[in-house]
Amino acid sequence: MKTRSLQFFLWLLGLFTSVTGSTRILEGSELLQTVEKSSLSLRCEYTYSHTNESLVPIFRKNGQELVGFERNVTINIASEGSITVKLNIFKSSTDISDGGIYTCISNDSSVNVTIMVLADNSKFDQSYSFIEDKDLILDCPVPSFLQSTVNWYRDGSLLNDDRIVLSNTQGKQDGSLQLSAIKTSDRGHYTCSASWSIGRKSFTTLVRVREKLAPLWPFIGIVLEVLVLVLIILFCKDNKKKTDRKSS
């Protein structure tokens, strides 16, 4: 009898102390687009109160257990007693199969977001050549519909030069790089790193800088070859004349 009374008391206590809270995906709950071979990151936040437990939400994709993603959890306890748990999932490189309905499930609620992963063959040319003292202009080839923000690097270091002008282009913040009066020291591998709401992707190309006279070297080489040939012919003719005079 005492056991039944204790079980009933615990059940009743559970009704009054049940955890309720709010769940949201920080990137939004609408359709989100990204492209293959980019990173993918989603963050779910669950805020609740009135419990000493740590209730961590989980992600599922199309109703199934999520695999192939890294996970990171942070917990923040506010002064008024509310607890906020953030779950971050991350994948370094996506493919088409990563598209689907992602659901963040918490203790008492859930929220969905649809991820569409699109094929993308955008890239820089393997290399670009510029003439010394001319302007270098590069446009980051990330698709414009992603509404991305772009950072520029040379040989792995963030570009920081008074000659640099960054401008927005086709839905890309700082998507165009202009470097005025380039020098031979500006040679290197240039990378634009584009980030958007759920992803990031980088594109790299080799920039070559030729000296001003570089285009003339082939012509100068031909002229020198002709001069050498003419000198040889003249020398041979003069030598032949001398030989003929001696024989006569």
In this prediction, residue 175 carries a pLDDT of 96
Are 51 and 23 a contacting pair, CB within 8 Å? Answer: no
Q: Which residues of 224-243 are buried (b: 16+ CB within 10 A; e: fewer)?
A: eeeeeeeeeeeeeeeeeeee
Q: How confident is the model at residue 214 (pLDDT cuts 50, 70, 90)?
A: low
Instruction: Return the SS3 of 156.
Output: coil
In this prediction, residue 243 carries a pLDDT of 67
**Shortest CA distance to 143 belongs to which of 194, 77, 219, 89?**
194
In this prediction, residue 80 carries a pLDDT of 73
What pTM, to 2 d.p., does this model score?
A: 0.73
Are 84 and 24 a contacting pair, CB within 8 Å? Answer: no
Q: Quick one: average pLDDT of 77-105?
A: 91
Alpha-helical (H) ranges within 107-188 are: none
Q: How confident is the model at residue 4 (pLDDT cuts 50, 70, 90)?
A: very low
**Shortest CA distance to 200 belongs to which of 98, 124, 90?**
90
Distance, in Å, from the CA atom of 146 to the CA atom of 198, rounded to the nearest integer, reads 10
Distance, in Å, from the CA atom of 153 to the CA atom of 164, rounded to the nearest integer, reads 12
In this prediction, residue 48 carries a pLDDT of 84
In this prediction, residue 229 carries a pLDDT of 82
Taking only the tens place, the pLDDT of each residue in 198-210 is 999 999 999 999 8
